[in-house]
Amino acid sequence: MPALTEETAALPQLDNAEIARYSRHLILPEVGLEGQQKLKAAKVLCVGTGGLGAPLTYYLAAAGIGTLGLVDFDVVDESNLQRQIIHSTNDVGRPKIDSAAEKLKALNPYVNIVKHETMLTSANALEIIKDYDIVADGTDNFPTRYLVNDACVLSGNKPNAYASIFRFEGQASVFATEDGPCYRCLYPEPPPPGLVPSCAEGGVLGILPGLLGVVQATEVIKLILGKGDSLVGRLLLVDSLNMKFRELKLRKNPDCPVCGTHPTVTKLIDYQQFCGIFPEEKPAAMQNGIPQITPVELKRRLDAGEDVFVLDVREPHEYQIVNIGAPLIPLGDLPNRLNELDPNREIVIHCKTGGRSQRAAEFLQKSGFKNVANLAGGITGWATDVDPKLPKY
Amino acid sequence: MKIFIPTPLRAYVDKQDAVQVNAQTVGQALDALTVQHPDLKKHLYSDEGKLRAFVNVYLNDEDVRYLPEKEATTVTEADSLSIIPSIAGGWD
């Protein structure tokens, strides 16, 4: 595998303190002095400083990557701390990028940290990526996944060390190299919105981004050193529950719309639209034919003694954490338990934040229920606006 | 043969991580799977009956799309199919 850093360009020197710091690398023949200098010369962009970004950036900084670019616009939330180990309890409420930069700088002051406090968009992605040799995608949504992929291909095949996670499972690969497949070769189109739950909806084992983020960091370092076999053309599948690692062969698709022989995507597009996500008008009174009711409005109507049947469609283990006393029929059981519901009563459905209950309401409506509504914001919205004593998860 | 079911689709196969089917070809195996578990069908196939673009099916470690005979490829009891959907999580 050819190294990415030009051998002809003068590599940066290491001072005595750096030689002491990187000693365990320097005595590895596969790294050595020259390899460590290549790491120092390298510029790596990490998109996202969350679950994957935390271990990824930590290890890259420790390894002595010369320039580490960070892209994030989010703030640290309490629910991040279970896995985003670069952020601490004291950082809750701070911009993630500041919290991350501080930790990385404390770990290794030799690393030049470049902060891009913005959402990566079609308007800025090429401009941001152009200054880097390698990109590591640690984002969490399909539009950004496709944006990062396309931007890497269109920037002249910048390698993209990729990983993604869901519950107990992860996938990792290296996309967008000159000869290897890109993300679109594997998945030409995104799933329709709502079909694949996010980590916020589906949950994720805290160690999982640790495993996969470290795989990404490993691939980045190997690409810079030009050593070993990279994950180019391979998809690594990690099942942490059964602790099984498998791999699948990936092929470059000659008909790929972005990296194929006759590409149809030659500039960045609207990725929200591509993924079927359209800006919501707020506050939407209706969504897909389902009335949306706010927690405050529902509370008012219940207090007024109106005949409203509230239904919870979350899972039993979520019900255990917090509930508002509504009967529970998990979304997946709904088709078999319709007979438990009265089609003549008004039914307001809730879940955690409103996604699953919207699907449940659409299903009930298709099944002949005339008067169903969705609790916008779910039990989380209820806890925010009606009963702040309830825990949020 | 065994068909591995990924986490996001396990809700439609009684929460199993693998399903056992009898089949001579990849296509027959997928048919047998969706006959056993009809709820899975709309998640794997479009209304026109085509395998959805965000779902990849692998016979052992090879993408079925790149096999010369694609879904007509013959299989034995020792083979396994894996359904690999796209997942996006990592940051939030």
Is the CA virtual torsion A218, A219, A225, A228 positive or negative? positive
Q: Has residue B15 been placed in a domain?
A: yes
Which residue of chain B has the CA closest to A335? B39
Query: For B2-49, how does the pLDDT look when each residue is reduced to its tens digit (9 = 90+)?
Result: 999 988 888 889 889 899 999 999 999 999 999 999 988 888 888 888
Give the contacts of A24 (CB within 8 A, at least 6 positions apart): none
Q: A249 with A197: CB under 8 angstroms? A: no
Which residue of chain B has the CA closest to A198? B89
CATH number of the domain bearing residue B71: 3.10.20.30
The ranges of chain A with pLDDT < 50 are 281
The total of structural domains in chain B comes to 1
How do strand A290-293 and strand A372-375 relate by DSSP bridges? parallel
Domain A286-385: CATH architecture, name and number where available? 3-Layer(aba) Sandwich (3.40)
pTM, to two decimals: 0.82
Binned at pLDDT 50, 70 and 90, residue B92 comes out as very low
ipTM (interface pTM) = 0.87
Q: For chain A, what are the domain ranges?
A: 16-274, 286-385
The whole-angstrom distance between A232's CA and the closest CA on chain B is 15
The verdict on a CB contact (< 8 Å) between B86 and A142 is yes
Nearest Cβ partner of B61 from A189, A209, A247? A247
Q: Has residue B14 been placed in a domain?
A: yes
Q: Has residue B91 been placed in a domain?
A: no
Domain holding B6, by residue range, is: 2-85
Task: Return the closest-CA partner of residue A380 out of A308, A327, A322, A329.
Answer: A322
Q: Has residue B90 been placed in a domain?
A: no
Residue in A199, A256, A259, A275 annotated catalytic: A199
Cβ of residue A50 closer than 8 Å to a chain B Cβ = yes
Cβ burial A86-112 (10 Å sphere, 16+ → b, else e): bbeeebeeebbbbbbbbbbeeebebbe
Predicted local distance difference test score (pLDDT) of residue A288: 87
Selected for mutation to probe chain A from B4, B81, B84, B87 (highest A CB count within 10 Å) is B87
Rounded (10°) CA dihedral A381, A324, A291, B43: 90
Rounded Cα–Cα distance for residues B30 and B2 (Å)? 11
Q: B90 with A51: CB under 8 angstroms? A: yes
A199 an active-site residue? yes
The verdict on a CB contact (< 8 Å) between A166 and B89 is yes
**HSE-up (13 A, CA, CB side) for residue B40:** 26
Rounded Cα–Cα distance for residues A310 and A258 (Å)? 47
Domain A16-274: CATH architecture, name and number where available? 3-Layer(aba) Sandwich (3.40)
Query: For A321-358, how does the pLDDT look when each residue is reduced to its tens digit (9 = 90+)?
Result: 999 999 999 999 999 999 999 988 999 999 999 999 99
Q: Across A110-196, where does the E strand assignment appear?
A: 112-116, 134-137, 160-166, 169-175
Q: Has residue B65 been placed in a domain?
A: yes
Predicted local distance difference test score (pLDDT) of residue B21: 95
Chain A residues in contact with B88 by the CB 8 A cut-off are 139-142, 145, 164, 166, 196, 198
Chain B residues in contact with A167 by the CB 8 A cut-off are 7
The verdict on a CB contact (< 8 Å) between B90 and A186 is no
